[in-house]
Amino acid sequence: TPKVPFEIDAAHAFVDSFENSPCGWVFTNGDRTNQWCWGNATNNGGEKAMYISNDQGTSNAYTMNSTTIVYASKLFNFAQGTYNFSFDWKANGESNSNGTTHYDFLRAVLVTGDVELTPGTTYPTGFSATTLPSTWIALDGGHQLNLNGEWQSQIAETSLSGYYTLFFIWRNDSG
């Protein structure tokens, strides 16, 4: 089924509270143990949220002995303008003791066009906890989101025009 872009302009906000449905989000999980889900296992003030689960959404937990890279995405068609993005997140994840190596983390990015990413165990070319391919736009401050089990707010601003896919990317290693 082709993705249908959500038409948006800078004067009108798009807000997804996830209360009624996942509102056109595509979960690209493949056969990974840890998968994007929508449900009520966790939330930030409402009753529902989008989250990683190792039991089809019953809990917001992940299996640590199963390497995973999965994607939640939504295609937008942006009218020329400057856009503010904000989202709430929490992701305990894992890094080494001095914080230089990141094993489990969340990233939020905009990618031009109708890009398809494949779930699995390997990073997309040019992607890591702290780097992105040159055409991708970071909405996460330019680095992984992890090491925080309490809800946080993230804000980014960028000028856009045309088709972009917003991706939330979850990655965990097998340790």
> Percent of the chain beyond pLDDT 70?
93
Chain centroid to Cα 32, Å, comes to 16
Does the pLDDT of residue 2 top 60, yes or no? no
Residues 122-139 have a mean pLDDT of: 94
**How sure is the predictor about 4, in pLDDT bands with cuts at 50, 70 and 90?**
low
Of 119, 144, 118, residue with least CA distance to 131: 144
Mean pLDDT, range 112-125, rounded to an integer = 90
Query: Is residue 112 scored above 60 in pLDDT?
Result: yes
3-state secondary structure of 17: coil
pLDDT grade, residue 1 (50/70/90)? very low
For residue 138, give both structure tokens. 């970071």
Average model confidence (pLDDT) for the chain? 89
27/19: higher pLDDT: 27
pLDDT digits (tens, 9 = 90+) for 75-95: 998 999 999 999 999 998 877
Q: What is the mean pLDDT of residues 32-47?
A: 93
Q: How many CB atoms lie within 10 A of CB 175?
A: 9
Average pLDDT over residues 1-13: 67
Q: Are 111 and 165 in contact (CB under 8 A)?
A: yes
